[in-house]
Amino acid sequence: MVRRGPSGARAARASYPDAMNRAPRPDGRIVEAANFGSRMETDAAIALLEANGIQASGKYGDAGGWLPHIALVDGFRVMVFDDDLDAAKALLGAEAQLEDDGELEDDVDPG
């Protein structure tokens, strides 16, 4: 007899223990914090917000990669709870400012 691991919600808790330790927010409204032109930028923004304690998720406008041209209309959105919107925008704005100032660029000489 082959023994398999946990399934369903139990498997999710085992795979992502930190995700299950968050308090539920049943009254929280989910709003758009930012809209990017690529999935990679959106994932980086979500990682930045999560690293700073802000729950965030992505709403990808490319139908899971199957219809990438649709993303031209809808974009790639970073979604947060409305209570965290101001903090998320401030954090993403500070990140954009650092990029514009050149502080986040690599010190590698391409030539």
Contacts of 46 (CB under 8 A, 6+ apart): 56, 57, 58, 78
Which neighbouring-strand residues pair with 32? 79
Q: Is residue 95 part of a domain?
A: yes
Q: What's 72's domain CATH number?
A: 3.30.70.1530
Q: How confident is the model at residue 25 (pLDDT cuts 50, 70, 90)?
A: confident
Number of domains in the chain: 1
Q: Confidence class of residue 10 from pLDDT cuts 50, 70 and 90?
A: low
Per-residue pLDDT at 56 exceeds 90: yes
Report if residue 57 sits inside a domain. yes
Residue 67 covered by a domain:
yes
Contact 79, 31 (CB under 8 A): yes
Averaged confidence pLDDT in the chain: 78
Range(s) of the domain holding residue 50: 26-101
Q: Give the mean model confidence (pLDDT) for residues 19-32.
A: 77
Q: Is residue 54 part of a domain?
A: yes
Residue 3 has pLDDT above 80, yes or no: no
